Structure 1
Amino acid sequence: MLHAARSLFLAPLALVATLNGATAQAVDAEKGAALFDALGLPEMIEIMREEGLAYGQDINDGLLSGAASASWDKTVSDIYDLDRMRGAAAAELNAAVAGKDVDAMLDFFTSDLGQEIIELETSARRALLDEAVDAAAKEAAGLALADDTPRSRMITTFAQTNDLIDTNVVGAMNANYAFYMGLQDGGAYDSTLTEDQVLADVYNQEPEIRANTTEWVYGFLTMAYQPLSDDELQAYIDFSKTKPGQDLNVAMFDAFDQMFVAISRDLGRASALTMAGQDI
């Protein structure tokens, strides 16, 4: 499934449980782990970490005016700790799919088509780390949309079915808000900004975020699913319309949104502390 920004923490297990209850929890955890693997999330999170390290460099080049030392690189690397990200995502996804039809999710994503889709999504996400590939994918998607090709209409249906634009815009705005609050936590502002001021600034960024998100999502989808036949892509769309498909889509957003909110707040706080150190 597509993910761009999303979260993770399980409530403590009940201290007292019957044997049957404990067994049911173990089965759920096992299925959750199987789903996590079937969705290719261990490798996808590796790619997200690489994206995060590049974003840390962008913060250095922009907000920090390129003045951060090697310690900044280590700080960013620690924030995007792979084990932490995987553990958080796995825990929250397991919680988010509790009580849902996980068997149906596993049936689709462990099938030959499901695994091909995951491999295509993962390889496309990794390829888009290259700025030239990213630009080419966006251009190709833009041309296909302008020409209103049958495949571009299927891509649009997939994006709309999974609400990919709005959820990713919300995720990006949540992360931006958390980054601002991290800056404030770290004392980056001479005077404390009110929550309303921060929210207003974030909301003012919405049109640009939406435009960038739309361009990226369509570029990604067009590139990732190009090898699929129309029948195969339609099968993915059909699954996405089912209740298990919709439940999984919501669970994926919930799982990754809070993870990136926590990361963004940590980045904001670290940025503020780094700026304070430069001023001394």
Structure 2
Amino acid sequence: MLAMSIRTAGALVLVLGAAPVLAQSVASEAATDQPDPVEAIYEALLLPQVIDLMAEEGREYGETLAESLFGGGTTPAEWSEAVATVYDENHLADQVLDSLATGLEGQDTSAMLAFLESENGRRVSKLEVDARTAMLDDDVEQQAKEAAAVAIAEGSPRIDLLRRYAETNDLVDTNVAGAMNANVAYFLGLMDGGALNSDMTEDDILSGVWAQEAQIRADTTEWVYSFLLKAYEPASDEDIQAYLEFSETEPGRALNRAVFDAFDQRLVDVSRKLGLVAARYLTTAQL
């Protein structure tokens, strides 16, 4: 399920509305002494670790962005502190959990948990987190991309199976949309912060981002398959097939949508905030 939120920080990879749902869940848990299914799904997918990775990716991206903002000079401590605030793990965790509760309302969470808490489900979640962690290293990511290029060129049976998995979960299209939404949000943050030309409109931003769609799609496709091959390298075809079959069920599709939406909302939110923070420094420099 982690491939649904690819590159959560570098696309440039839950809130109050769900509070009543969570309140009802807490009340229900107290009455029945049963764990909240949304929280159980959140833990089974290892989303706390994913959020930590998202925050780490975000802080690293902030340092990369600082190089262009400050000309490669010393990054002000205030900038690093502002970026860390944008990617605060506790805040992100609360929002992801709230959004997940909203997205899973009325869904068959029992069927989701039956798979996620099975031996196969737990193995797959761990493999994905391990791969995501490893690919924070640029050298590991490059090696994964090269291995994926070879596998695709050779048309290996494993790549065919992973292609079915990617297509079933719509991984490329949803992540392209997520990356483009994040780019738009970042530039809207710059615009709202007064850092863009006063003649620039939201339509101009949309046009500019759409002009990059082909490159974003190519980069996303490369990353999706390098990630999947890296993550599932230790898994058997039977493990992948079981995950694929779950993904084809209605509970699997509902979980896919809920997880992607939760992280897509967060990515848009942090991208806009990052644009506002960048605008603050750019407008100050212009003065």
Matched, 1:118 2:125: yes
- Runs of at least 5 residues in structure 1 that lack an aligned partner in the other structure: none
Name the stretch that deviates more: 44-53 or 68-77. Answer: 68-77
Matched, 1:260 2:267: yes
Name the stretch that deviates more: 223-232 or 66-75. Answer: 66-75
Whole-Å separation in 2 of the counterparts to 1:175 and 1:109: 29
Cα distance, 1:10 vs structure 2: 4.3
Give TM-score, length-normalised by structure 1. 0.93
1:1-280 matched pairs, under 5 angstroms: 1-2=1-2, 3-4=5-6, 5=8, 8-11=14-17, 23=28, 30-67=36-73, 68-280=75-287
Contact 2:104 2:255 in 1 (8 A): yes
Contact 1:186 1:269 in 2 (8 A): yes
Aligned length: 277
Whole-Å separation in 2 of the counterparts to 1:25 and 1:260: 33
Give TM-score, length-normalised by structure 2. 0.90
Cα distance, 1:69 vs structure 2: 1.1
- Secondary structure of the 2:107 match is coil
Whole-Å separation in 2 of the counterparts to 1:58 and 1:26: 49
In 2 relative to 1, CA 25–58 (structure 1 residues): closer, same or farther, beyond 3 Å?
farther
Contact 1:179 1:266 in 2 (8 A): yes
Cα distance, 1:177 vs structure 2: 0.4
Whole-Å separation in 2 of the counterparts to 1:26 and 1:47: 35
- Runs of at least 5 residues in structure 2 that lack an aligned partner in the other structure: none
Whole-Å separation in 1 of the counterparts to 2:111 and 2:237: 22
Which of the pair has the greater relative contact order for Cα pairs under 8 Å at 6+ separation? 1
**Identity across the alignment (%):** 44
Cα distance, 1:20 vs structure 2: 11
Cα distance, 1:23 vs structure 2: 3.2
Whole-Å separation in 2 of the counterparts to 1:25 and 1:204: 52
Cα distance, 1:191 vs structure 2: 0.7
Cα distance, 1:72 vs structure 2: 0.8
Whole-Å separation in 1 of the counterparts to 2:142 and 2:234: 19
